[in-house]
Structure 1
Amino acid sequence: MASSTVTSAQPDRPPRPNLAFRRLRGKRSPAEFAAAVRRAAREIGERVSCDARYVGRVEAGEIRCPNYAYERVFLHMFPGRTLTDLGFAPRSSVRGRRARTAEDVLPAHLGGSPHASCETRGVAEPYELHGLHGLHGHGPQAPSEPCDRQDPFHTHDDNEESDVLRRAFMTSGATVAAASLGPLGLALDAAAAGRPVRRAGAGDAGALEEAVRRIRLLDDRHGADGLYRRATAPLRTAYALLDAGATRQATADRLYSGAGELAISVGWLAHDSGRFDDARSHYAEALATARVTGDPGLEAHAFCNMAFLARDAGRPREAVRAAQAAQRAARPLGSARLMSLLALREAGGWAGLADRVGCEQALARAQAFFGRGASDADPEWMSFYGEAELEGLEAQCWSSLGDWPRAARHARRAADSQDPHFTRNLALYTAELADDLARGGRPDEAAGAGLRVLDLLGEVQSSRIHTMLAGTARVLLPHRRASGVSAFLERHASLPRTA
């Protein structure tokens, strides 16, 4: 528990930008740098929830000195440098505390004082949030919370991207070189070489928009796991173009909108492949871009995905609030289909809270909006949202509420109405069906659906689907002697284990 003697880390005088730290970030976006911080933390056994917002606050000078966990990570990332070299103020000048002894520096598991570690971790840095609190009106972490709490967003290990991956951003049966992005490829080469990127023109904006379309198309067909790392290369390029400026205001507006949509797309790839921390950073980056440019469509999209992420991370109340924020942003846009999807996001949050009435009311709104049909006001990114997705998301709601027969009915409709060309979604809906049937006491049918999913996994790489199948296999294990179940369990057990 934090000591009451710890003084606030917030200075009384206006913050001074930390230019040294900004230079160390280089050409990486705030989200990419935050991911590098988290990787470095794991290398030394630390746990930090660094995201783009934290990086922004450091660079703005709002964080004059990091807490001890971040200090260890930063000094590991930049060996030979001191906190002062990184642009931070001496700890004694910020907190009025004595300099630490060697014992204080050691992590608790290496002999350092556990009380000192707990006192400083999560207290002096109020924006080291576990979740999306800061985006939805919640306050910072209470100082009295224990420091060994688990982070629901911290679910996946990352590896460093190689230079080769900077030039290609798609795999899983379709490799698209960065050079095929035209001006984006040239800008990426300049950024990688450390040369100034020329001012962007309309061609750059068009190439950025096309990159977003290609990423979404390949995700629909192949899933996220093989795409995420390569999809970060166009995102890096987009922010290099934003830094360089545009020749015209209309082009700048397109670049900001495209960069925000690209951040959401890359965030979704992280989300679907189980990298919740990275997804949160990318979504926050997109939301910040929307707020800076006053783009309600981008804001609604960012909040939409944040609601989905919060639900998957076990934060249903936050999912409800994010979905409601998305609906407020989306109302002036005039898209009934968008309002339908956002109502479904809200329904998912209510289901997670076991609020059947709230869920049913939101589902009714979703159905009513969907019934109004498509229109020219529907955003381009909503091309995935049709009858199959509507049924699939409703199935997830009933599954969360434990109504397995109803969930299975909607999941079956989703799978039956899905265009087989979009393999990833077909596999997802069928996996949902298998799980609902298994939990509803229909093991033979569940095994049959599970085998159909296994047939699709040669074309699809999605951690979400693998996780769902693993859960179904556990439920079916007591029925392993039933007809068909043993075949599913054997094939599932033979799947290669993902890292």
Structure 2
Amino acid sequence: MPKQRNTALETLLIEFGYTHEQLADEVNRIALDEFGTSANCTDRHVRRWIAGEVRWPWSRYLRPLQEIFGRAPEVMGFVPRSNVRNTVTAALSAPAVEHHAVQRRTFIAGALITVLGTDEAPQRGRLGMADVDRIQGTVTRLDAHFNRLGGGALVEVATDYLARLQRALDHCTFGERVERALMRAVADVAACAGWSAHDCGEYAKAAQFRNEALQAALLARDPVAVTRAWSDLAAQAEHAGRAVEAARINKAALSERHLRTQPLISALLHARLADCLAQIDDRSGMGRQLAAAERAYDRADPEGAPSWLAFLTPAELSGLGAIAHQSAGQYARAETQTVQALDLLNSRFTRNRAYYTVLLAELQLTQGDIEKAAATVADVPASDVASSRITARLDRVAKAAQP
């Protein structure tokens, strides 16, 4: 059989931030922990797996790889020999995966800190706007990573960077303009940490970060940052089943005068308010808010948007409309809009593609089309995202779609 490059494993290395040497070291560490002896894995082994020279590694390598990436061997791109197709997968018990989950996320976070540059925050001396620009560049990279892959290890990375910025506020000197910019950066990082924690199902931690973001935004006296914080708190209330409270917060945010010059944020608030109204059976109100979101988006200039709003594209607007129609019980309309969202979605938004593909399968199941839902589930790029919330929904719909 000719060699075929293992692009799935190669993608996982990029996603989790491993070099060939780092992955080999982690395989050896887990093997030593589980088996009492190192697997003697080297970067040469990793290169051979990626090149397709080794289609199915020995179990002393495969079991640690499963624990590192949390994927089945086939999902990692390995091709089983007929006599071992089920043995290794069965041997990896759930408690073993759970045992190493925290260690794995911490290891990935350490690599991400270097990749995203969050370890370069200033800690002493006088700060100027050049320092603020470098900090804003790091915030942009944090937002881009979340939009591409989701939460996962980004929770630890954002938490660490938040602590570094707060130490800079405590120990550095600066003028009022720089101080306000630093507080705005703290609000942005806390908001990113909040969504990352939410994506991992850590809702209490997400609430803590979002309150911190609101406090920092108020201290920065930045109306856009304040509106973002209120919007995130509304999303939190909605997720907790408090749709009336969420609608109230969204309406209050939309009443702010500065939003007249912020149509992109207005579009997001209108779309989220539409879902809240759908949940409380106000379908006419839902329709008005979705129309308002479209009008606001038509006035917006996405090119000049802050990095945290990069996800709000025509595809996302269609997806938010699908979510509202789902809440209103209009499943056929929701399915149509979800398909449209997936057609429009840019390839860089891997997390959102997984999210809306799972949503499409859920809508198909709700309408009784089990075969179509099963086919949709098979297309979910679950191995490419770091969102336990999405993968949990995927697991549920996959089980429900089984014949």
Q: TM-score, normalised by structure 2?
A: 0.69
Residue 232 (str. 1) matches residue 169 (str. 2): no
Corresponding residue for residue 390 of structure 2: 465
What is the CA distance between 1:425 and its match in structure 2?
1.0
- Asked if 2 retains the 8 angstrom alpha-carbon contact of 1:168 and 1:178, the reply is no
- Asked if 2 retains the 8 angstrom alpha-carbon contact of 1:169 and 1:233, the reply is no
- Asked if 1 retains the 8 angstrom alpha-carbon contact of 2:270 and 2:292, the reply is yes
Matches within 5 A, 1:394-409: 394-409=321-336
Corresponding residue for residue 191 of structure 1: none
What is the CA distance between 1:179 and its match in structure 2?
8.9
What is the CA distance between 1:463 and its match in structure 2?
2.0
Aligned-partner Cα distance in 2 for 1:178–1:473: 34
Aligned-partner Cα distance in 1 for 2:329–2:162: 39
Aligned-partner Cα distance in 2 for 1:362–1:471: 31
What letter corresponds to residue 184 of structure 2 in structure 1?
S
SS of 1:419's equivalent? coil
SS of 2:174's equivalent? coil
Aligned-partner Cα distance in 1 for 2:126–2:191: 24
Out of 257, 265, 272, which is 2:192 matched to? 265
CA displacement 1:384-425 (0-9 Å, x = unmatched): 101111011111111112211111111111111101222111
SS of 2:383's equivalent? coil
Corresponding residue for residue 117 of structure 2: 180
What is the CA distance between 1:183 and its match in structure 2?
4.1
Matches within 5 A, 1:61-80: none
Aligned-partner Cα distance in 2 for 1:298–1:170: 28
Matches within 5 A, 1:187-198: 187=123, 197-198=124-125
Q: CA RMSD in A?
A: 2.7
Kindly tell me the number of residue pairs found equivalent between the two proteins. Answer: 304
Residue 278 (str. 1) matches residue 205 (str. 2): yes
What is the CA distance between 1:169 and its match in structure 2?
4.1
Matches within 5 A, 1:472-487: 472-473=397-398, 475-476=400-401, 480-481=402-403
- Asked if 2 retains the 8 angstrom alpha-carbon contact of 1:337 and 1:370, the reply is yes
Aligned-partner Cα distance in 2 for 1:239–1:365: 38
* Pair 303,273 (structure 1): closer, same or farther in 2 beyond 3 Å: same
Aligned-partner Cα distance in 2 for 1:221–1:325: 30
Out of 406, 415, 425, which is 2:342 matched to? 415
Amino-acid identity (%): 28
Residue 253 (str. 1) matches residue 188 (str. 2): no
* Pair 179,465 (structure 1): closer, same or farther in 2 beyond 3 Å: closer
- Asked if 2 retains the 8 angstrom alpha-carbon contact of 1:245 and 1:252, the reply is no
- Asked if 2 retains the 8 angstrom alpha-carbon contact of 1:391 and 1:414, the reply is yes
Out of 369, 378, 382, which is 1:442 matched to? 369
Matches within 5 A, 1:217-366: 217-329=144-256, 331-332=258-259, 334-366=261-293
What is the CA distance between 1:350 and its match in structure 2?
1.1
Aligned-partner Cα distance in 1 for 2:374–2:257: 41
What letter corresponds to residue 382 of structure 1 in structure 2?
L
SS of 1:354's equivalent? coil
- Asked if 1 retains the 8 angstrom alpha-carbon contact of 2:200 and 2:388, the reply is yes
CA displacement 1:129-151 (0-9 Å, x = unmatched): xxxxxxxxxxxxxxxxxxxxxxx
SS of 1:458's equivalent? helix
Q: What 5-or-longer segments of structure 2 have no aligned partner?
A: 1-97
What letter corresponds to residue 463 of structure 1 in structure 2?
S
Corresponding residue for residue 426 of structure 1: 353
- Asked if 1 retains the 8 angstrom alpha-carbon contact of 2:315 and 2:340, the reply is yes
SS of 1:209's equivalent? helix
Aligned-partner Cα distance in 2 for 1:289–1:474: 43
* Pair 271,306 (structure 1): closer, same or farther in 2 beyond 3 Å: same
Aligned-partner Cα distance in 2 for 1:362–1:290: 26
* Pair 211,473 (structure 1): closer, same or farther in 2 beyond 3 Å: same
SS of 2:256's equivalent? helix
Aligned-partner Cα distance in 2 for 1:321–1:377: 29
What is the CA distance between 1:470 and its match in structure 2?
3.3
Q: TM-score, normalised by structure 1?
A: 0.56
* Pair 210,168 (structure 1): closer, same or farther in 2 beyond 3 Å: farther
- Asked if 2 retains the 8 angstrom alpha-carbon contact of 1:261 and 1:298, the reply is yes
* Pair 253,178 (structure 1): closer, same or farther in 2 beyond 3 Å: farther
Aligned-partner Cα distance in 1 for 2:184–2:208: 17
Aligned-partner Cα distance in 1 for 2:374–2:388: 20
Aligned-partner Cα distance in 2 for 1:212–1:235: 10
Would you tell me which structure has more helix in proportion to its own residues? 2
Aligned-partner Cα distance in 1 for 2:128–2:341: 42
Aligned-partner Cα distance in 1 for 2:173–2:101: 31
Corresponding residue for residue 115 of structure 1: none
Aligned-partner Cα distance in 2 for 1:427–1:397: 18
- Asked if 2 retains the 8 angstrom alpha-carbon contact of 1:307 and 1:346, the reply is no
Corresponding residue for residue 37 of structure 2: none
- Asked if 2 retains the 8 angstrom alpha-carbon contact of 1:270 and 1:279, the reply is yes
CA displacement 1:230-283 (0-9 Å, x = unmatched): 221111111111223542222112111111111101111011111111111111
* Pair 179,260 (structure 1): closer, same or farther in 2 beyond 3 Å: closer
Aligned-partner Cα distance in 1 for 2:281–2:201: 24
* Pair 471,362 (structure 1): closer, same or farther in 2 beyond 3 Å: farther
- Asked if 2 retains the 8 angstrom alpha-carbon contact of 1:209 and 1:258, the reply is yes
What is the CA distance between 1:215 and its match in structure 2?
1.3
